[in-house]
């Protein structure tokens, strides 16, 4: 029983909100607008246009569909300065334009800790995305990097 009463009151409030708008000019030439009609000024009632928007259909050809993004995998190489295979890996990365981060496990304690936490053995030790690789072999690297 309460629901119909609430709906009725809501409808009445919505109708009450439909107030008229009045426009008048005061003695200084300033224009005023109000929903209350002033007694001592000549007013004109302002038309209230309904603000609505009719959409236009946009053809599918106007939408931009980006090509699939193929981000390269992140490569991290744990190495030492004297390692010959590390040197070959560096040269390969540079010749192929492969971005990589190198972490020297002899000069950086943090790199050494990461290396040990990863359970690595031997150098170079590579992180290729979420995959790992012990030693250096260009064919094995490419298979892990490109898949």
Closest CA to 72 of 42, 101, 103, 41: 101
**How many separate domains does the chain show?**
2
Domain range enclosing 88: 75-146
pLDDT for position 17: 56
On whether the CB atoms of residues 77 and 126 are closer than 8 A, the answer is yes
- Compute the distance between CA of residue 116 and CA of residue 144 in angstroms, rounded to an integer: 22
Measured distance CA(101)–CA(112) in Å, rounded: 14
Q: Are residues 37 and 95 in the same domain?
A: no
In a domain, residue 34? The reply is yes
Within a domain: 35: yes
CATH of the domain at 112: 3.40.30.10
Q: Could you list the pLDDT tens digit for every one of the 147 residues in the chain?
A: 566 665 566 555 555 555 678 887 888 888 887 888 888 887 888 777 666 666 666 666 656 565 555 557 899 999 999 999 999 999 999 999 999 999 999 999 999 999 999 999 899 999 998 899 999 999 999 999 988
For residue 57, is it within any domain?
no
64 in any annotated domain: no
Give the 3-state secondary structure of residue 17.
coil
* Domain match, 37 and 99 both: no
pTM: 0.52
């Amino acid at each position: 029983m309460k629901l119909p009463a609430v709906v009725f009151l809501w409808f009445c409030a919505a109708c009450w909100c439909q107030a008229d708008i009045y426009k008048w000019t005061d003695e200084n030439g300033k224009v005023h607008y109000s929903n209350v009609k002033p007694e001592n000024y000549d007013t004109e009632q302002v038309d209230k246009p309904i603000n609505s928007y009719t959409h236009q259909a946009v053809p599918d050809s106007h939408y931009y569909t980006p090509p699939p993004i193929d981000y390269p995998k992140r490569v991290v190489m744990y190495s030492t300065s004297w390692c010959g295979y590390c040197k070959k890996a560096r040269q390969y990365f540079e010749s192929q334009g492969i971005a990589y981060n190198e972490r020297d496990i002899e000069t950086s304690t943090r790199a050494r800790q990461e290396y040990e936490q990863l359970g690595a053995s031997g150098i170079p030790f590579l992180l290729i995305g979420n995959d790992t690789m012990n030693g250096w072999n260009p064919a094995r690297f490419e298979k892990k990097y490109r898949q």
